[in-house]
Structure 1
């Protein structure tokens, strides 16, 4: 394999970051370590990293600062060794705003961390005086502990929150022989369709569809005769009373410009959508009448971020691929089982949280994030779903899998990953893979068509019940465009098969769609943070999701992913800052 094209791309990205410039030989060696199929450390998965080293004048020790991806500039590993024969203490550092702030290490006789933000420069040496500043930051116990005049965060290891349902399921899976079968039996027999929501038409709207927001869902009903249905949506809308929405139309979310909500039932989808090509199964009578919701975010006004949970997705092997697909001696498909010394937190950092307007659960646990059946189970170690946070590769992106990612230039895309796309790795700010596509982009029209595995239970890794019954609570996401504006749509399906999801996203004009997670409200969780009466109100997609959030004794809500670490990974939506 030739590394030259990738290296040239990387060197172009790193122009202007001379403090962390690498040689071509160094990059090639790191790429070889990245590609090597062997047990390794998490740093070996970072082919673009660069380390600066400076001696400490207080003795024969040294300090090192490793930028894990200089093209992104968000995560760093600080190493402090106080003496020549002493152990190195390692600290995971986060630069909370790499778009406007840089971090480097001065290597002169008096080394220091140099933080530059516009014309302001902060110089600090947190390793001095027995690393007093770093020790103090670690002892706070805060997930994000500020230091260096509050310009940087030390990421401290903490326990992520989880619901009683998740805790019980994980205990059974990890400690009881046949525990996965017990979990499946309970889910299929006691929780099937437990979140099913439906409504008959209450009236007709008498109003035409809105001209702002994404395209309305295609139906066979004239726009001014779209039925109004009863809904459980727990988000206030402009122009509609609580508990009422026009079928398939978009309604602006109150006090949150650029965010829209829509209610749907698959039985209302236009016949032309079902006849438009691509193979899907016939909808059953239950999913056809099931009410679901779409939330749309205008990507001209919002940005997207991603964070791994404290525990999920894990880094070791999924039990789904056969033993023959695994390589003996590897602790996981990427050669690692733990992220140490890096720290996973499952929450948004405090600087970004101030601009965050929504969060939602990102995807499958590693437990279910690989293939048990079909061709994709037989090679590439079962195609474990990959993920990247802050430019740091925790699990390699696999070809053939649906991928939502963001580049350092702000580009947000959703596509089926290909080997050639690995040339983008130096520029990827985040990426999350979740199975195979619900909708693929038709190159001729640019519109979405059902993926070729939508009807295949095993080969599509759609999960569901043991007897291949696919209908359950599910969430997904898609990309859509209207009049030059691009939108990310989050879809909540109270009960649905992949076929119903594909046709629904197609009816909303999506160009590509993918599954996120399924089976429980904590796995399909979405919350909006809406200003109300001078305070921030947590508005959940449906009322049951409020039970996932923690509360103080006085009733104050601690929002999931914002106010406390979580064991699950998440996407977060932030309002773009106005450039002066």
Structure 2
């Protein structure tokens, strides 16, 4: 058994489900059913009412202080809210995050009559246990005063999530913290990962060795183009065998980034057979000549994660729909996630293995319908999202949804009413909705040509052509690829034809209108720094600069107000 300290690290597992050890178990079936009914009501009313799987440990100290540890979703075993309620006083709340949800179980116990948090290993780590009381000796206050978005507690078994803003002081503090404690080989994170948790990242499959021998470039093949000229794009990645340029529609390995591939084309090059499929408008001369950059990730090599920004997407009302209820400040009845804390920053234990990041979806104000039938029901169909098993905004049927399950399965598809069930929701790690399909079952979605019906945004004159980003999934011979696409200017129809040409199974819009909103970067290690390679050079200008003039990678070291997806390399 080990004591409590603001100490150094443990390794982390991203997507494994909770093991049956000494943690907080899910509630019983009757409780879940009752809470699901509340979640499906017109107005759930609070962040607590949105969590059907929430369960709580409670102990009382000798002085009458009540300690409650709320596991927001025991199936995910990631987010906890510690409530400390002194007799006759106001409760204080602290948002805690499990540093290794695959290995650590968290509970509240009486240790010789004194309340304590117990962090215990799973059955595979039997005997490993930490008892700590971070509220003693001003431990919680000390962690909060660090100003870090993730402040370590209990020998790094837990983090206190702190509210932060994206100012220079915070960014530099985070960057310094990562350099001193987390990154580049000599950290305690790696030491413990190599001892207690040396097998935590192992992936075992009889077919895996054969799959690794299949070249990703060969699997992806070539896009369906009628013309494939040699192009010289302004792409910020170093590519293998692309010194003389890139053949349109072909895929190239990113140098030093196994499992990541890049391609370039223009929609006007797409094969006529693609245009013969109905469902999209004709392309104009501008978007036909506009470059599209694509980046493919072999999901056998990566795990996907999602983190909301400090501010966006918000939880209150979008200004767009006129069909609202009047029982709350948002479609779910509230506009703030308190006591949950949104950091807009990558968890520091992922910093050594992060491979790529790209921005998420629309802000809340743009993430609902103003026109068309979807504006008239479900309060305008605000795009929903969930993180670490915690529902922050309800998921609505008919909307494009990118999600991941506990076992690491990444899925992009249209949400259904049947999906809002405990059987489905209990399997989710995260989910993010953004509009309606661009591609569904390999063909253009039914609303690609409808400006208002698809909520595609653009100008008031329905001029849909602008800078856009989107993503799709494609499975080739049982191997899944997640493909990010950057359109220098395009309508939804040009996006649909492009994703068709690349033989995507399903595609959805991400964000649009600026390189800040369509940001995408890959990460590689260079000596003692994390080096970002941006898809286009203008995206580098979005990164903050420290007082020494060096770039501070957005989302990794710099808290941001926008949400983002990140890819963690499997080990």
Q: Above 0.5 in TM-score?
A: yes
Which secondary structure does the structure 2 equivalent of 1:104 belong to? strand
Which has the higher mean CA deviation after the structures are superposed, 12-21 or 59-68?
A: 12-21
Residue-pair matches, total: 502
> What's the secondary structure of 2:114's corresponding residue?
coil
Greater alpha carbon shift after TM alignment, 116-125 vs 24-33: 24-33
Residue 42 in structure 1 maps to residue 47 in structure 2? yes
Q: Structure 1: how far apart are the matches of 2:167 and 2:467?
A: 22
SS in 1 for 2:368: coil
1:220 equivalent in alignment to 2:222? no
1:86 lines up with 2:89 in the alignment: yes
Give the structure 2 partner of residue 20 of structure 1: 25
Matches within 5 A, 1:92-491: 92-107=95-110, 109-117=113-121, 118-119=125-126, 120-129=128-137, 132-160=138-166, 211-221=217-227, 226-241=228-243, 244-275=245-276, 277-322=277-322, 325-423=323-421, 424-441=424-441, 448-491=442-485
**1:552: Cα distance to partner?**
1.5
Superposition deviation, residue 329 in structure 1? 2.4
Displacement, 1:20?
A: 2.2
Aligned mates of 2:19, 2:153 — CA distance in 1:
27
- Unaligned runs of at least 5 residues, structure 1: 1-11, 163-208, 442-447
CA distance in 2, matches of 1:397, 1:128: 40
For the structure 1 residues 18 and 371, does the alpha-carbon distance in structure 2 shift closer, same or farther, using more than 3 Å as the test?
same
In 2, Cα distance between the equivalents of 1:499 and 1:281? 6
Cα displacement (A) at 1:414? 0.2
Instruction: Find the residue that maps to 1:312 and give its secondary structure.
Output: coil
The alpha-carbon deviation at position 34 of structure 1 amounts to 2.3
**Residue 340 of structure 1, CA deviation:** 0.6
Deviations 1:16-35 (A, max 9, x none): 67632422333233333323
Structure 2 equivalent of residue 32 of structure 1: 37
Q: Distance in 1 between matches of 2:302 and 2:167?
A: 27
Partners of 1:14 and 1:21 within 8 A in 2: no
Q: Partners in 1 of 2:344 and 2:478 — Cα distance?
A: 34
Q: Deviations over 1:520-566 (max 9, x none)?
A: 00000001002346753210000000000011232321100000110
TM-score, normalised on structure 1?
A: 0.84
- The whole-number CA distance in structure 2 between the counterparts of 1:413 and 1:160 is 31
Distance 1:20 1:237, change over 3 A: same
Shift of 1:138: 0.6
Give the TM-score, by structure 2 length.
0.85
RMSD: 1.9
Q: 1:450 to 1:389 in 2, by over 3 A?
A: same
Contact 1:77 1:93 (C-alpha < 8 Å) held by counterparts = yes
User: For 2:260 and 2:371, how far apart are their aligned partners in 1?
Assistant: 39
Match of 1:567 in 2: 561
In structure 1, what is the Cα distance between the partners aligned to 2:459 and 2:499? 23
**Counterparts of 2:500 and 2:21 in 1: how far apart (Å)?**
43
Give the match's secondary structure for 1:468.
coil
Deviations 1:184-218 (A, max 9, x none): xxxxxxxxxxxxxxxxxxxxxxxxx9853523211
Distance 1:470 1:151, change over 3 A: same
Query: 1:450-481 CA distances to partner (integer Å, 9 max, x unpaired)?
Result: 00100000000000111001000000000012
Conserved? CA contact 2:355–2:567, under 8 Å: yes
User: For the residues of structure 2 that align with 1:23 and 1:364, how far apart are their CA atoms?
Assistant: 36
Distance 1:241 1:473, change over 3 A: same
**Closer, same or farther: CA 213–160 of 1 in aligned 2, 3 Å:** farther
Aligned to 2:567, what secondary structure does the other structure show? strand
* Partner residue in 1 for 2:542: 548
Map Cα deviations across residues 272-324 of structure 1 (whole Å, 9 max, x no partner): 1111x2311000000001011000010000010000000000100101111xx
Distance in 1 separating the partners of 2:144 and 2:531 = 31
* 1:402 positional shift: 0.3
Offset, 1:484: 2.0
- Structure 1 contact 42–339 (Cα < 8 Å) conserved: yes
2:198 corresponds to: none
Structure 2 vs 1, CA of residues 13 and 425 (structure 1 numbering), >3 Å: closer, same or farther? Answer: farther
Residues 416 and 210 (structure 1), Cα distance of their counterparts in 2 relative to 1, 3 Å cut: closer
Task: Tell me, in whole angstroms, the C-alpha distance in 2 between the residues paired with 1:213 and 1:67.
Answer: 42
Residue 161 of structure 1 and its aligned partner are, at CA, apart by: 6.1
The superposition leaves residues 96-145 of structure 1 with CA deviations (integer Å, 9 ceiling, x where unpaired) of: 3212222122246333111124242111111234xx11111011111111
Q: Among residues 36, 59, 69, which one is paired with 1:54 in the alignment?
A: 59
The SS at the match of 2:120 is strand
Query: Offset of 1:39 from its aligned partner?
Result: 6.4
1:65 equivalent to 2:69? Answer yes
Inter-partner Cα distance in structure 1 for 2:405 and 2:95: 23
Please tell me whether the aligned partners of residues 216 and 298 of structure 2 are also in contact (alpha carbons under 8 angstroms).
no
Contact kept? 1:215, 1:509, Cα under 8 Å: no
Once the two structures are TM-superposed, the CA of residue 406 in structure 1 deviates from its matched residue by 0.4
Partner of 2:496: 502
